[in-house]
Chain A
Amino acid sequence: MFKNITIGQYIARESTVHELDPRMKIIITLILIVGLFLIGSFWGFLFMAAYIMFLIYFSRLSLPLLVRGLKPVIFIILFTLFIHILFTRGGEVLLEWRFIRVEEGGLFTGLFMATRIALLILFTSLLTLTTSPIQLTDGLETLMSPLKVVKFPAHELAMMMTIALRFIPTLLEEAEKILKAQKARGADFESGNLLRRAQNLIPLLVPLFLSAFRRADDLAAALEARCYRGGVGRTRMKELVLKRSDWLALVISLLVVVGVILI
């Protein structure tokens, strides 16, 4: 039942995009996303699409793989498209049949929004596909570290993220076991109205919750036994270093974004 969830989605390859510094990849993704929101025409989207093809080529991933990532959100994309087609008004009437009325403005806005969502998702999945969760949290920790000056707990947050990522598969496995055990005892997870169904999940959630708390207790004991005392004075096996290729990637992405906004 849970086998189809690809956690972390990270796919290890030896490629230019994989080897970029995680900090730079996060910054570049942010810039590209801001760009997507400032684009005013379909030409801009076309160039962005071309740019993502270029990035996919250099990350040695396949296009079908990324497109498959769109599957879980296809419903939302289509929903957005249809809502706009049916309810947004403006321009010429393209189709009129009984109470259904499609106008040019609606079709245009619908396609525009749908393209934007699809591109947003493609850029974000490219980041998670080419950067391992550990690299991502490392990158986030260093990006947040200037905030340590104002006593922002950058290390603690990164540590929590690493722990969270480590325990997702464990808890999912546990959830599957509890689900089976409770079903064997006659628990019903599939019938009733929405509120009833939500409440029926309690026999699954409470044991899962308690087991997570127990694990946290053990983990804390294990950390302390190994003399963990926070980020102060901790060294790393792999230090992050910005290379020339990182700066080059930043400059190219900036140029692309400025270009598509000016179109």
Chain B
Amino acid sequence: MTEQPILVVDDDPTILATVSEALDLEGFPVVTATNGAEALDVLDRIPPSLVLLDMRMPVLDGWGFMHAIRERELSLKVVVMTAAADANRWGREIGAQAVLAKPFELDELLGAVQRLLPT
């Protein structure tokens, strides 16, 4: 198991708490951010193993966050979590490794994480 935490980014406090709890239950270390700008701050301090990213957020949204990542030439594994109707297209467009269409099942979430973080 990796020491690096998973970064969860979502502006909805409940989703943030629930997803964190689910990952914690499986033994993944978790850090959280409520928008893209906060997430960039966290990145600088604690490089994550994976980012779970909401798209529609205030201050800096998912697209802005991905743009900033490309500018910094960071290579990050990203899972997009979105309630948009065309979730898969958005995920492809911004270069995410996986897409979770809200509302997703717990198994889908953990499945995507385990696929991207081989133990």
Partners in one complex: no
Chain B interface residues (CB < 8 Å from chain A):
none
Chain A interface residues (CB < 8 Å from chain B):
none
